[in-house]
Structure 1
Amino acid sequence: MEDTSKLQTNIQINPIQSHMPRMSVELSAEELLKEQKLPFPFFRPLSQRKENTWVISLFVILHLIAFAATMIINDCWSNSHGLCALKPLGRFSFQPLSENPLLGPSASALDEMGALRLRYLAKDQEFWRVFTSPCLHAGLFHLIINLSCVIFVGIHLEQEFGPSRIGVIYILSALTGSLVAAMFLQDRPSVASSSTLFGLLGAMLSGLIRNWKFYAKKFATLVAFCAILMLNFVLGLMPYVNNFSNIGGFISGFLLGFVLLFKPQLGKMYQNKGGLFEYDVKHSVKLKQKLDRPVLRSISLVIFSLLLAGVIMAVVQGINMNKYCAWCQYIDCVPIKWWTCGSKMTHCETMANSEHLTLTCSGNGKFTVFPFVSFSQARIEDLCNLICS
């Protein structure tokens, strides 16, 4: 009997080669975005990287310093002889609410710090006030509301789109808003600090429109946008806050948003997906951002450039739009029983002795007797405006 030969089975496993076509990285990225939309920045937790918010933080600190300097210059305790609100604050106490309903400095202090006013731009040609007025706040209420909204809106946008682009929008909105305000000035001081907030709101709206398909919670975003917008616009109807600067800042921010705000965090999204698209998507998205909607970006940039050039020429030429629009003054300030929006030149007769100062308004005959005589000329003008209003 023959020996049964042992079977030797050799099994060879060949690797299966995939013949599936390679998918486009950009197409995969777009499909992923459609499947998983991002909430608007307001509804996402802030990043832990604090360096992403240095621009907004810097501007907020500068505003706080400017307000502190304004209150030091105001010095209600000395200039108003203690007739102040919150007297325990001493030098930092505020003018009475009857004089400044926003709990802030006097009109003469705002003038000295560089607020916008018709007489200083039309007669004295002090155009440097266009750059200083966006740094000033009309009062403590204005400071708290404005900066709280700037922090809420600005920090989220800065972490979403980067500090450089948000910084450019912030500065150009402040400048454009101040120039627009200079075209509608009355003979009363006004500040343009809220123009920066309205510039951020305009950029937020254009960024939302431009990246509409990438965002979820759009209705909630619009509700938050309208609430912040209306609150600060109503605040602009009070004395010393210029609403025309808010309108100019909003228009400039809206146009610059179309120019500068690209698709949000695309590279970062896919890098966090396990590295599958880490390199290719990062570079393809950057290229796509540079080429994204060139016509819209170009048109927005041209319109903004024409707007900026136009308002600069109008301010240099001394054009006063109030001559062509009598009702426009009510966009800036609405007089009610708690405050007035007087902008006419006032004159008071002064009578002083060793103990008392009597101011009598030449227009309506009203007078007030003060138990002090050492008022500065600027302070006498403030008091005269109150008596004549």
Structure 2
Amino acid sequence: MIVNDCWRNSHGDCALQPLGRLSFQPLSENPLLGPSASALDKMGALRLTFLTKHHQIWRLFTCAWLHAGVAHLIINLSSVIFVGIHLEQEFGSLRTGIIYMLSTFIGSLVAALFLKDRPSVASSAALFGLLGAMLSGLIQNWKFYTKKFTTIVAFFSILMINLVLGLLPYVNNFSNIGGFISGFLLGFVLLFNPQLEQMAQNKGGLFDYNVKGSAIVDLRQKLDRPVLRIVSLVLFSLLLAGGLFAVLHGINVNRCCGWCQYIDCVPFKWWSCNEKPMQCETMEIAGRLTLTCTGYDKFRVFPFTDISQARIQDLCTLICS
């Protein structure tokens, strides 16, 4: 929010104004209590023109560490902590970390295939990777869980909350889908051998096993399914290679899928999902800036003129939407 500086760029027209420079853009501009579109662009969000025309491939990495707003940050981090701690207790930090990082990158690749000309962030891809791994772990180890109902409720609650969050502006739901598929496949590759001795000593978690000491060796043999692991690894490799090939060759799936846009952002009266570049006529009179949307009978007068061209484009999009 320091980069955004709503108090200066919007001259006080902000949400939670007492925060000053740390205040947020109006909810009509960002319903997640976050920065403006131009601020997200500046910090490294994904956008179609930056990736295809300016070839800023580095945004595939930076977008994965950005959140669309405070609401997105709180929900995403709390979900990651909840799921990540339990997976780490069950399978160890190394395997959980590998799934986290690879799912993040795959999510960014999938997001790039469905990009619109509006900023989007892909930080939730890592969470969905952990959720996908959680699902594959459930499938492999189902009969040994003692808290089946609790685990299912927790899984679907976190999944649905974050999927709905992905329907709001700036949060890329396609990165979530890509991260989930990646985590699901990697779960079959890596989550074949729970830390049963440690789990037996650390009861009370979400993933408790009903395992006796003498059955540990036999259980590990049942959980280690080499064929399934190899098939999942091959599918993950194809997903990674195909995603890289498609992104580097500028393939955009939206050109042949008109309804796909509604998976990523659903328009509502409180916000817009419009991606078309808007143009406004500007006029400065007596310290006031008048923006008139070209082709529409819409205009707005602002009591300031000293703002950047990028911020003018933000306001123009807001007026014309």
Task: Give your verdict on TM over 0.5.
Answer: yes
User: Is the Cα–Cα contact under 8 Å of residues 90 and 199 in structure 2 kept in the other structure?
Assistant: no
Rounded to whole Å, the distance in 1 between the matches of 2:130 and 2:200 is: 27
Give the TM-score of the pair, scaled to structure 2: 0.93
Rounded to whole Å, the distance in 1 between the matches of 2:28 and 2:196 is: 53
Rounded to whole Å, the distance in 2 between the matches of 1:213 and 1:224 is: 18
Q: Compared with structure 1, are the counterparts of its residues 98 and 172 closer, same or farther at alpha carbon in structure 2 (3 Å cutoff)? A: same
Q: Compared with structure 1, are the counterparts of its residues 344 and 311 closer, same or farther at alpha carbon in structure 2 (3 Å cutoff)? A: same
SS at the partner of 1:360?
Answer: strand
Identify which of 303, 306, 311 aligns with 1:374.
306
The residue number in structure 1 matching 2:8 is 78
What is the CA deviation profile of residues 34-62 of structure 1, one whole-angstrom value per residue up to 9, with x for unaligned ones?
xxxxxxxxxxxxxxxxxxxxxxxxxxxxx
Identify which of 84, 99, 118 aligns with 2:48.
118
Rounded to whole Å, the distance in 1 between the matches of 2:192 and 2:288 is: 65
User: Is the Cα–Cα contact under 8 Å of residues 211 and 263 in structure 1 kept in the other structure?
Assistant: no
Q: Does 1:138 align with 2:68?
A: yes
Q: Does 1:300 align with 2:232?
A: yes
Q: Which amino acid aligns with 1:356?
A: R
State how many pairs are aligned. 312
User: Is the Cα–Cα contact under 8 Å of residues 84 and 94 in structure 1 kept in the other structure?
Assistant: yes
Rounded to whole Å, the distance in 2 between the matches of 1:96 and 1:269 is: 47
Q: Could you tell me how far 1:227 is from its partner in structure 2?
A: 1.1
What is the CA deviation profile of residues 242-285 of structure 1, one whole-angstrom value per residue up to 9, with x for unaligned ones?
0000000000000000011123222336789xxxx98x988x58
Structure (1 or 2) with the larger CA radius of gyration: 1
Equivalence map 1:1-389=2 (5 Å):
71-268=1-198, 288=221, 292-389=224-321
Q: Could you tell me how far 1:214 is from its partner in structure 2?
A: 1.5
Q: Could you tell me how far 1:211 is from its partner in structure 2?
A: 1.0
Rounded to whole Å, the distance in 1 between the matches of 2:148 and 2:229 is: 22
Rounded to whole Å, the distance in 1 between the matches of 2:241 and 2:185 is: 14
Q: Could you tell me how far 1:91 is from its partner in structure 2?
A: 1.1
Q: Compared with structure 1, are the counterparts of its residues 96 and 287 closer, same or farther at alpha carbon in structure 2 (3 Å cutoff)? A: closer
Rounded to whole Å, the distance in 2 between the matches of 1:286 and 1:118 is: 49
User: Is the Cα–Cα contact under 8 Å of residues 178 and 195 in structure 1 kept in the other structure?
Assistant: yes
Moved over 6 A (4+): none
Percent pairwise identity: 71
User: Is the Cα–Cα contact under 8 Å of residues 177 and 247 in structure 1 kept in the other structure?
Assistant: yes
Q: Could you tell me how far 1:176 is from its partner in structure 2?
A: 0.3
Q: Where does the alignment leave 5 or more consecutive residues of structure 1 unmatched?
A: 1-70
Q: Could you tell me how far 1:338 is from its partner in structure 2?
A: 1.2
Rounded to whole Å, the distance in 1 between the matches of 2:195 and 2:268 is: 47
User: Is the Cα–Cα contact under 8 Å of residues 90 and 196 in structure 2 kept in the other structure?
Assistant: no
Give the TM-score of the pair, scaled to structure 1: 0.77
User: Is the Cα–Cα contact under 8 Å of residues 193 and 220 in structure 2 kept in the other structure?
Assistant: no
Q: Which amino acid aligns with 1:244?
A: F
Q: Compared with structure 1, are the counterparts of its residues 309 and 367 closer, same or farther at alpha carbon in structure 2 (3 Å cutoff)? A: same
Q: Where does the alignment leave 5 or more consecutive residues of structure 2 unmatched?
A: 203-211
Q: Compared with structure 1, are the counterparts of its residues 281 and 322 closer, same or farther at alpha carbon in structure 2 (3 Å cutoff)? A: same
SS at the partner of 1:83?
Answer: coil
User: Is the Cα–Cα contact under 8 Å of residues 353 and 373 in structure 1 kept in the other structure?
Assistant: no
What is the CA deviation profile of residues 135-180 of structure 1, one whole-angstrom value per residue up to 9, with x for unaligned ones?
0000111111111111111111112111111100000111000110
Q: Could you tell me how far 1:286 is from its partner in structure 2?
A: 11
The residue number in structure 1 matching 2:205 is none
Rounded to whole Å, the distance in 1 between the matches of 2:131 and 2:295 is: 43
The residue number in structure 1 matching 2:207 is none
Rounded to whole Å, the distance in 2 between the matches of 1:116 and 1:123 is: 13
Rounded to whole Å, the distance in 2 between the matches of 1:269 and 1:318 is: 46
What is the CA deviation profile of residues 312-366 of structure 1, one whole-angstrom value per residue up to 9, with x for unaligned ones?
1100000010011110000000101111100001100000134111000003131
The residue number in structure 2 matching 1:43 is none
Q: Could you tell me how far 1:80 is from its partner in structure 2?
A: 1.1
